[in-house]
Structure formats: C-alpha cells, structure tokens
Structure 1
Amino acid sequence: MPHIITEPCIGVKDKSCVDVCPVECIYEAEDQLYIHPDECIDCGACVPACPVSAIYPEEDVPSEWASYIQKNYDLAGV
C-alpha cells in the first residue's frame, strides 16, 4: 500500500519529504505534493520528514481526509 499526502500539505509544499524519498515518487501538483502509488515502495521515510504530519500509509489515512486517497491516485493519473 502506498503512502498518501493529505490536507495539511495544502499550500505548504515543504518538500522535506521529497529529499528523503529513496525512489523519488513524490511530485508537486498545483496546491500540494502527492505520492505516485505505483512508484511508492512503502518505506515510510517520508512520514517523519513531513513538518505538517500530512503523510499516512493508505490504510491509516484519518477518515476526515479519506478523499485524499482518491485525490493522490487522480493526481498520479492512475
């Protein structure tokens, strides 16, 4: 399961997570960063690097941000 970037990233786009991603699967969209689900190796390196705690394993995304699962997939084009 890939990791998902959720609402706290909107407008922030700090990119600390990009720097630690070993497979470079985090991309920039208009208002947030997103993780390409087919490229993510589920290593979790991005989670502690996020300064706004916006990244979760897909199965652990809080219910209030569940719509970001599909948003990440849509941004990735899958």
Structure 2
Amino acid sequence: MNKETILEKVNEILVEEFEVDADVISPESNLKDTLGLDSLDYVDLVVSIEANFGVKLGEADFVGIATFEDFYNLIETKIQNKN
C-alpha cells in the first residue's frame, strides 16, 4: 500500500467515522488540535486504524506524533514492518 492510498484511507476514516471536516486535514496540521478528540475518541481511532490497515498501534507509537504527516508515516511504517 502506497503513501497516497494510506493518506486517502485515513482521511476517509476521519471524515466518515469522526465527522472531521475534510478541509481542515492537511499533512502539516497538528493532529491533536485539529481533531479535538478526547481519550475515548483516540481509542476508537486506534481500533479503526488497526482494523482498516491490519496493524497494531500502541501508546509508545504515538510519542513524537504531532502532525497528520507523522501519523501517515507511522501507519506506513507499521504496514511495511508487517510484511
């Protein structure tokens, strides 16, 4: 799965499942500030990403994740390491 496919799929999940306005999602935007999710929403986000991409995400994976680009890169790395 290439980076563009990951980006599109993650954004689709955010728009459809978390009702995030697609216009506010950009690679350089701050993930936490833009999404405004509470801790339960983050759990739902992790579950959704794991189910859609077949990867496992732990709390330690989110250290250093600030932007959407960081999040896309995390998922891409997890997918590559899975194979």
Q: Larger strand proportion, structure 1 or 2?
A: 1
TM-score (norm. length: structure 1): 0.39
Larger Rg: 2
Greater share of helix residues, 1 or 2? 2
- Return the TM-score normalized by structure 2: 0.38
